[in-house]
Structure 1
Amino acid sequence: MLPTLTSRAGRALAFSALVTLFLVWYTASDNYYSGTATSSTFHAGNGYNKSHPIDALMNTAETDLDEILSTESHDIATAAERYRARRGRHPPPGFAEWFEFAKDKNALVIEEFFDQIYHDLTPYWALQPKELRRQARSIPTRVVIRNNTAILKTDEPRNWMDSWHDLVSKLEDYLPDLDMPINVMDETRLVVPWETVNEYIQKELRDRIMPSQSNVISEYMSLNEWDQEDLEAYDPGFTIPPEGGYWQMAKVGCPPGSPARNNTLPMIDFGTPPWEFDNFERISYHGYVGNFTLAKDPCVRPEMQVLHGTFLEPVSVSTSHKLLPLFGGSKLPMNNEILLPPAMYWAQNEHYSGGENEHGGAWDAKINKAVWRGAATGGRAREPNWTGFQRHRFMSMMNATSVQQAEQNNSHGINFRLPNYADYKLNGDGFVTELLEQHTDTGFNHLVCTPYNEADPTCPYLDPYFEIAAGMPMKKMYNYKYLPDLDGNSFSGRYRGFMLSTSLPIKATIYNEWHDSRLIPWVHFVPMDTTYIDFYGIMAYFLGGRDEVARKIALAGKAWGEKVLRREDMEIYTYRLLLEYARICDDRREFLGYTGDIVGP
């Protein structure tokens, strides 16, 4: 049987208790599934004769979608009431204008869509507003709002800062005064110890009030006079990793008792590749991702320290263990940045989108293959450690010759382990190699050798294993049915483009983004584990007579993305985020609120 958990309504109540049960942040049940498996016959060498685990996952995911749609707010009174029920406060000043802004843009106003904002901002209530403003002013890369004008502050020209400034500028007429510091690195920068964040959240809960209507203040403070104060600069304490690398810095953000805090893998000899894949098998649903939140969380997946470039050797690290306001486009589950829509999603760059109007043609006209092109990024992959990097692992697992050799070597390749074919009901005798030869088109277009020599692009330790493939623009990728999407140095900037295409995204990541609570795995996209051990089973499922199922998810994801991932939706999310952030930084924040919907005392 599938694990039985609460409905979305029940989980909404659980989220409101988040501040007292902080562990929920790391074991959230958003994507655990309950339900009855549907009946379907699996072909193409698979031994399922009645139902398949993916059928059950899809069935319950569709129920989740129905539940979330039932909570849409169609008027300001309902939206404000649902806000108070979920957040335990009055909505911020400007909430009515925000609601009208959203409705004018034909947005789905569903309170759950904004959970990430409160996940990110809640700990900041424990810090004094004046201190938050001082901290924010100390970061050289920021967007400043004064008198309804967005001003870009930066230490040097930065393309992504220009994009974020453009996004905020679209909203400047609606926003109060604020300072919005932004992380311009690929890698995330804040890891506050779990105990500290939990203490802050407990303080927010103790101090939280719902003032009476007569005591509510509906206007934010001006920062013009405060700007004249001579304040000592704040030192964020950014530092590089100590002995043990970034993993030692990052795991302090995990809860006590979590696998990451309790388990440190022995020193890894990358000459003997790490086979730390068993943990996924334990947390999966019959070998497939049943809880995407859990599957991508390094706090419960300590094996990621040797299976992902972020922890092996990131390109750059400048991390603080202090809590200070810092916005960014992605973060690990143990990081503390405040998530924004990524600049590359807003910038309309064809490299990351394929073109805003390029989404691919009809499903039946597409090539029946999975396609992937990209650089061998993920961090500084060197000769001693490259076998632990995620993109290198995926490319090796897509090579039919490497897989054939692994089949003859106790299922081990130089940097990957094959799944137990019996667990996935996959026939032996060359079935997987045939699948790869006929239904995949993958390759590195750049090996990114470390150290890099521009005059000699060869890479002696990678050349024996990988050939350079011709690049492929995203709009050409849309000619293929299946689009695996992998982490690079941080999150993948292609994901929104893939979601809006007529192809099927197969997503693997350990990073969180602003839109995560808007997308339902197995309805809008196919989740894949970062070990990629489930990829062959996923492809065999769809290729085994379930082409119409793949088409259904691909087009459902596209249609949903056109409702919740539009540029307008990025504006709506950022608008609301900045109203909430400005309130936290206001000296009268406990009494700031919107009560225009309340009639009577």
Structure 2
Amino acid sequence: MITTLLRPLRMGPIRTSTRFSYLTFAALAVLLFTGASLYLFPTSFTSEHRPSTWGVLHEAPGDHPIDNLVADANTQWRSLLAQESHDIHAASARYRQLRGRHPPPGFDQWFEFARANDAVLVEEFFDQIYHDLSPYWGLEPGELRKQASGQSPRIYVRNHNATAVGRAGPHWEDSWLEMIQGVAKYLPDVDVPLNGMDEPRVIAPWETITEYVQRDYASREMGNASEVVGEYMTLVDPKVEAPEVFKGPFGNQGVWNMARAGCPGDSPSRDSDMPAPMDFASPPGEFENYRRMSEEGYVKNWTLAKDPCYRPELQALHGSFIEPITVATSTELIPLFGGSKLPINNGILIPPAMYWADDPLYSGGPDHGEDWSKKKDVFFWRGLASGGRNRAETWTGFQRHRFVSMINSTQVALALANDSHAVNFRLPDSEYYRLESARAGQLPEFLNRSSDVAFTGLACHPNTHEPFCDYTDAYFKTQPLMPMSEMYPYKYLPDIDGNSFSGRYRAFLLSTSLPIKATLYNEWHDSRIIPWAHFVPMDTTYMDLYGIMEYFLGFNGQGGHDAMAKKIALDGKSWAEKVLRKEDMQIYVYRLLLEYARISDDRRDGLGYVGDL
């Protein structure tokens, strides 16, 4: 199931004459190993990386949909860990089985580097790399090299040394350079163009991407070991010969129109007229569409829940589609590496610079919270009213404004008095979510004692007199900025998209608090953390917000699941400490750049590692 975390691409058949018998043997070996592991160890993992709090999955089996989601997630986690590779032979075999090619040259050195850094080596953890890079097999290697070497900002590696060119964001290139320098001595010559903006910047049409991915699959084969090439080509040093500048076909053609073009032709966002902007006074039926892709109202398919291709209502519910801060997007496939992207984007993910930098603004410092029992039973959030350029006529669609409003007891009380409608949200069906606080007529009171949520700035556009804002002053009272370290005394930490992904997410996962994650953005680690096992997913409509709160906190001292919340929080923390370390970021980037260098090499179809055969 972990592969379902990535949006599937339409792919052509894999043509190879040598693959079938090898893969049959490898598949049988994996099945025998997995079956034996689960038979011999039905309630624990065969790996040393077993969750520290593994035990009772839920207090009342099947009584609540979240019970079943948590149980399924832990089963998925256990199944995934059974695939861990402990030697180069197993790792190479699993690679060939999943990728349809020999591993890239240098794979053995990469494996030893990963093992020396105590990595959990599950091949599926790197699925995001192959999802990102697959379309680039549709471009000619020479064109890839030309585009990559001519961009700025970028990092280039020559003769095992990494150098940065240009500026990316608030000194992001410094962090990315440091990340790559740590593995540069193992890397081939390669150019890594960087996205220096918050927003992702590449959306090629679905038809183009499908054609390129089919070229990837059509070229997959494993040639005879004696014919495989084990050395990458060398590239010209830009200090000796300056590359031709490549500025890219970046432009602004309307955010939602560009987004729709990246969707399958038969998807709801592509196959229908664009709906009118959301009218919260009489909200349309799109809110109800979420029920059909959920487990009784709670996120079941995290991939689908985040995908704007199947959620056309998101165009009026998220600042990324209403009016981003920056729009400079290419509708042609060009190489560009960045820290996050929407499911319809075609950039190449790398660990975000703020995850590497150890800035207390994003990490909270070395102390990530005290014991669970000492924390407050409160959903806590502070943040800027970001997400794009919110204006008087558009702010009601922005995700952070909607979240803060929906958890404000005064605004909820007003909505209850107005047939469940407020100026920028509608209340969920309390009977569908079995909300005891609503049945008792005490939802505002429940929110008031169970949450502490506020903006630290209103970020109006045009911003003329911050912290005040003419069109939102009546709805929001701001609070002072708060260091992240002061958020950890609270048990529940919602994490909401800003201009793009939230830079707090890794720190929340590493904390002793429970992250409640609402996002449309993908990140490098999505193949290795599991919703409901390591964090709680929340839909971006927030229709499930009150249900999640009541499930964990209970109402009037009844029906809470504190032990479950603690288990997910501490499982997520212990797992993040094993798979989201700085070492894991370098291991990921090392592997990514081996693969990208192969795609950019004129002899790419013949390159590979066969030292294990």
2:162 paired with 1:150: yes
- Evaluate the alpha carbon distance shift between residue 404 and residue 344 of structure 1 in structure 2; reply closer, same or farther with a 3 A threshold: same
Partners of 1:230 and 1:543 lie apart in 2 by: 61
Q: What does residue 44 of structure 1 align with?
A: none
Residue 448 (structure 2) pairs with residue 447 (structure 1): no
More off after superposition, 285-294 vs 268-277: 268-277
Distance 2:119 2:167 in 1: 36
Aligned-residue identity in percent = 55
2:31 is equivalent to residue 19 of structure 1: no
> What TM-score results when the alignment is normalised by the length of structure 2?
0.88
Given that 1:270 and 1:385 are in contact with CA atoms closer than 8 Å, whether structure 2 keeps it comes out as no
Contact (CA 8 Å) 1:309, 1:379: kept in 2 or not? yes
Distance 1:272 1:425, change over 3 A: closer
Q: 1:172 aligns with which of 165, 178, 184?
A: 184
Q: Which residue in 2 is equivalent to 1:473?
A: 483
Matched, 1:72 2:84: yes
Q: Take 1:477 and 1:195, find their aligned partners in 2: how far apart are those partners? A: 45
Matches within 5 A, 1:60-459: 60-154=72-166, 158-224=170-236, 233-241=245-253, 245-268=254-277, 272=281, 274-275=283-284, 276-355=286-365, 357-427=366-436, 428-453=439-464, 455=465, 457-459=467-469
Name the CA distance, whole Å, in 2 between partners of 1:153 and 1:381: 33
Q: Structure 2: how far apart are the matches of 1:510 and 1:412?
A: 24
Q: How many Å apart are 1:225 and its aligned residue?
A: 7.1
1:322 deviates by 0.7
- Whole-angstrom CA distance in 2 between matches of 1:390 and 1:151: 38
Distance 1:567 1:411 in 2: 46
Distance 1:159-1:252 versus aligned 2 partners, 3 A rule: same
- Map 1:404-553 onto structure 2 (within 5 A): 404-427=413-436, 428-453=439-464, 455=465, 457-544=467-554, 545-553=560-568
Q: What whole-Å deviation, never above 9, does each CA across 1:422-456 have from its counterpart, x for those lacking one?
A: 00111323332122111100000000011012x55
Q: CA offset at residue 230 of structure 1?
A: 7.8
Q: CA deviation at 1:282?
A: 1.9
**Could you tell me how far apart the structure 2 residues matched to 1:157 and 1:320 are?**
19
Give the equivalent residue in structure 2 for 1:25: none
Q: Secondary structure at the match of 1:259?
A: coil
Structure 2: give runs of 5+ residues left out of the alignment.
Answer: 15-55, 555-559
CA distance in 2, matches of 1:551, 1:15: 30
How far apart, CA to CA, are the structure 1 residues paired with 2:594 and 2:375? 44
Deviation at 1:263, TM superposition (A): 2.6
1:541-580 mapped onto 2 (5 Å cutoff) = 541-544=551-554, 545-580=560-595
- CA offsets 1:498-537 (integer angstroms, 9 cap, x no match): 0000000000000000000101111100000001110110
CA contact (8 A) 1:271 1:384 kept: no
Q: Which amino acid aligns with 1:142?
A: R
1:79 to 1:15, Cα distance in 2 relative to 1, 3 A: farther
Q: CA deviation at 1:207?
A: 2.3
Question: In structure 2, do the counterparts of structure 1 residues 173 and 50 end up closer, same or farther at CA, with 3 Å as the change threshold?
Answer: closer
CA apart distance, 1:124: 0.7
Whether the 8 Å contact between 2:324 and 2:388 is mirrored in structure 1 is: yes
Q: Structure 1 residues 106, 371: closer, same or farther in 2, change over 3 A?
A: same
Deviations 1:35-85 (A, max 9, x none): xx98755xxxxxxx9700000111111110110000000000000000000
- Corresponding residue of 1:587: 602
3-state DSSP of counterpart to 1:162: helix
Structure 1 counterpart of 2:604, one-letter code:
R
C-alpha separation in 1, matches of 2:282 and 2:578: 44
The offset of 1:224, in angstroms, is 2.7
Mean alpha-carbon deviation: is it higher for 66-75 or for 420-429? 420-429
Q: For 2:170 and 2:572, how far apart are their aligned partners in 1?
A: 32
Aligned residues: 563
Q: Any idea what SS the aligned residue of 1:442 has?
A: strand
- Partners of 2:576 and 2:59 in 1: how far apart? 28
CA distance in 2, matches of 1:156, 1:524: 31
Q: Which runs of 5+ in 1 are unaligned?
A: 1-6, 23-36, 42-48
Tell me which residue corresponds to 1:46: none
Equivalent-residue separation in structure 1 for 2:420 and 2:7 (angstroms): 42
